[in-house]
Amino acid sequence: MAPELDYRWHLRQVMARREMFATTDLLSPLADRGITLSASQVYRLVVERPERLSLRILVALLDILDCSMDELIEPVEVVAARKEAKAVGADHGIGALRPKRAHITRGPDR
- pLDDT(76) > 70: yes
| % of the chain exceeding 70 in pLDDT | 81
Q: For the whole prediction, is pTM greater than 0.85? A: no
Domain ranges of the chain: 5-77
First to last CA, the chain: 73
pLDDT (tens digit, 9 = 90+) per residue, 80-90? 766 566 655 55
Distance (Å, whole) CA 42 – CA 5:
26
Query: Candidates 1.20.950, 1.10.3230, 1.10.260, 1.10.155; correct CATH number of 5-77?
Result: 1.10.260
Q: Give 60: exposed, middle or buried? Use CB within 10 Å, 0-12, 13-18, 19+.
A: buried
Distance (Å, whole) CA 51 – CA 37:
17
